[in-house]
Amino acid sequence: MSPPKRQVKRRTKKPRQKKRGIYLLPNLLTTGNLFCGFYSVIATINHDFRTAAIAILFAILFDILDGKVARLTGSSSHFGVEYDSLADLVAFGVAPALLVYMWALKPFGRLGWGAAFLFVACGALRLARFNTQADATPKKHFVGLPIPGAALMVATTVMFFYRMGGSGPTKHFLLLATTYVLGFLMVSNIPYNSFKEFDGFQRMPFRTLFLIILLLSVVVAHPSIMLFTLGFVYVSSGPLGYAHDLLQSRRQPVEQQTDSQEMVKSKNGTG
C-alpha cells in the first residue's frame, strides 16, 4: 500500500490594507476655517461685533484656499469633504447667526432668535444637499445661495454699518427680513455662479487683468463699503438672473407663435 499523500495547505495571500491617513495641508486650512468661526463666536459673546465679522471673512478666505489646494494637489478625500462641511456649518452657519442675533435681532424676541435659527438650519440643509448632489449638478452653478455667500452678506453688513458710523441697530426690520431671506435663498433652487471655471493660470485678455487689479485696489482702499457691495451684488444676482431667465422662457413661445401666424398670413396672401 502506498503511503497517504499529505495535503499541502496553500497560503492565501491576505489583501493589502490601504494606508489610512489624511492630507495635511488642505485639512490644516479647513482647521483654520473652523478656528475663525469659533473665534467669531467668542468675539460675539464679548460684544466685539466688528472683530467677529472680520473673523468670518478670514474663514471665507480659508474655505476658498482649502478647496483650491485640494484640487491643485489632487488631495481631495471623503474625509476632507465631511470635515469641510462641519467647519462650514460652524464658521458660516452658527457664527453669523449668533452675530446677527446679538448685534441686531435680539430686540425682536422670538422673531429674532427664530430668524437666527432658521439661518443655521437652512445652512445645514444647504450643505447636506450640496454633499449629496455634488456629482449631479453642473460645476458652473450652485443650486441655491452657498452658505459662505450668506455669511459674507451678514459679516459685510456689520462692517458697513460700523464704517457709516453706527454701533448697532435697534429693532431694524430690514435686517430681520434680510436674515429670513438669506435662509430661504440657501434652500432655494435658484442657480448661483460658482466661479469654478475661472482659472488664474490660463491666458486671459489684458482688460480682464486690469479690471481685477482695479477691483482689488478699490477693495483695499474702501474694504467695508466694497465688500458689502460685492456681497449684495452676488446675493442679488441669483434672483435677478432667475427672473430674467423666466421672462426669456415665457417670451420665446409668444415670439414663436407670432412668427408662425405671420408665416400663415403670408402664405394665405400669396396663395
At 47, the pLDDT band (50, 70, 90 cuts) reads very high
Question: Cβ of 124: how many Cβ atoms within 10 Å?
Answer: 18
Q: pLDDT value at position 76?
A: 77
At 249, the pLDDT band (50, 70, 90 cuts) reads confident
**Phi, psi at 155, each rounded to 5°:** -65, -45
Q: pLDDT value at position 265?
A: 60
At 112, the pLDDT band (50, 70, 90 cuts) reads very high
In the chain, pLDDT over 70 holds for what percent of residues?
Answer: 76
More reliable by pLDDT, 260 or 119: 119
Buried b (16+ CB within 10 A) or exposed e, 136-164: eeeeeebbbbbbbbbbbbbbbbbbbbebe
User: Is 80 exceeded by the pLDDT of residue 100?
Assistant: yes
Q: pLDDT value at position 184?
A: 96
Per residue, the 3-state secondary structure of 12-57, as one string, reads CCCCCCCCCCCCHHHHHHHHHHHHHHHHHHHHHHCCCHHHHHHHHH
Q: pLDDT value at position 223?
A: 83
Q: Distance between CA atoms of 125 and 238, rounded to whole angstroms? A: 18
Cell representation of residue 9 = 495547505
- Residue ranges and CATH numbers for the domains of the chain are 24-253 (1.20.120)
